[in-house]
């Protein structure tokens, strides 16, 4: 095939391309993934009892704050990872900032109450931590797929990194859905087990990345 011919072919009947298309795809994926994760939570484990009481609302707000900050920073970086040429101008480790902030607060809480360490880390029941991680990863699967779909619409050039951040964002959405069910109301529990679950999603994403994001 002659390259000049290819160029003629590509530039014939050229269509205009708007600027915001990619961003919209990403937002759509986040919203759809979030809605599906929430619906999945409702039909499987359901929200915790007495959701309306003020104290419980406050704890859900704390958990959501953490999850949303993970999703927010991740989504900003994701938006850059799908556009070639921004790799070097982007501060990728920023994606860990919400986790470090949560761990710092958790450390402060733990140091303030050294006698309650075990109880705070264990959560409401002995299996709380395991249940938390399994449910977050379970709720995260579909949002993660949605985010990867959006990423495939772009042109990610670092596939492991892109997949890993997709995992973190998907995990954040899973954590937000799980927050409505979670009965373990301590900061250290959130900082450790929520983070661990989201990071499991990140590892899965970074392993999937090179396979599913190639273009």
Partner 1 sequence: MFTDYNSCAQTSSSVEDDFPTLVADSDETGGNVVFTFSPSNAGKVSIAPANSEARTDHDKNDIAKSLPVDELGHPQERELRALMTASLDGDGAAYHTLLKQLTGHLRAYYRHRFARIGHGPTEAEDLLQEVLIAVHTHRHTYDRSQPFTPWIHAIARYKFLDYLRRTKSSYKDLPITSAEELTAKSDMAAVESGLDLQRLMLKISSKARQVIQYVKLEGLSVSEAAVKCGMSESAVKVAVHRGLKALALHIRKESEA
The footprint of partner 1 (CB under 8 A) covers: 1-19, 21-22, 82-89, 154-155, 157, 214-215
**Sign of the CA dihedral running 134, 142, 21, 16:** positive
* Three-state DSSP state, 85: coil
* Three-state DSSP state, 100: helix
Shortest distance (Å) from residue 183 CB to partner 1: 43
Q: Which is nearer to partner 1, 7 or 39 (CB)?
A: 7
Cβ proximity of 49 and 177 under 8 Å: no
Q: Which is nearer to partner 1, 1 or 55 (CB)?
A: 1
Shortest distance (Å) from residue 170 CB to partner 1: 21
* Three-state DSSP state, 20: coil
- Cβ-based burial of 78 (10 A; exposed 0-12, middle 13-18, buried ≥19): buried
Q: How many CA atoms lie within 13 A of 54 on its CB side?
A: 0
Q: Which is nearer to partner 1, 20 or 49 (CB)?
A: 20
Q: Which is nearer to partner 1, 41 or 148 (CB)?
A: 148
Q: Which is nearer to partner 1, 6 or 31 (CB)?
A: 6
Q: CA nearest 79: which of 147, 143, 142?
A: 147
- Give the integer Cα–Cα distance in Å for 38 and 135: 12
Q: Which is nearer to partner 1, 2 or 115 (CB)?
A: 2
Cβ proximity of 38 and 177 under 8 Å: yes
Shortest distance (Å) from residue 164 CB to partner 1: 16
Shortest distance (Å) from residue 24 CB to partner 1: 11
Shortest distance (Å) from residue 188 CB to partner 1: 37
Shortest distance (Å) from residue 72 CB to partner 1: 20
């Amino acid at each position: 095939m002659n390259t000049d011919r290819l160029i003629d072919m590509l530039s014939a009947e050229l269509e205009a391309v708007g600027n915001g298309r990619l961003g919209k795809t990403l937002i759509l994926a986040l919203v759809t993934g979030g809605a599906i994760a929430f619906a999945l939570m409702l039909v499987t484990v359901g929200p915790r009892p007495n959701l309306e009481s003020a104290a419980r609302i406050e704890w859900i707000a704390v958990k959501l704050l953490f999850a949303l900050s993970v999703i927010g920073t991740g989504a900003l970086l994701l938006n850059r990872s799908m556009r070639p040429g921004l790799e070097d101008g982007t501060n990728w480790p920023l994606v860990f900032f919400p986790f470090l902030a949560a761990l710092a607060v958790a450390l402060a809480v733990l140091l303030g109450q050294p006698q309650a360490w075990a109880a705070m880390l264990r959560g409401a029941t002995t299996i709380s931590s395991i249940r938390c991680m399994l449910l977050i990863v379970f709720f995260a699967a579909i949002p993660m797929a949605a985010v990867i779909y959006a990423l495939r619409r772009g042109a990610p050039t670092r596939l492991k990194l892109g997949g890993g951040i997709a995992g973190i964002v998907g995990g954040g959405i899973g954590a937000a859905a799980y927050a409505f069910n979670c009965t373990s109301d301590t900061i250290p529990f959130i900082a450790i087990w929520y983070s661990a679950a989201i990071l499991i999603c990140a590892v899965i994403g970074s392993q999937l990345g090179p396979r599913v994001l190639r273009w």
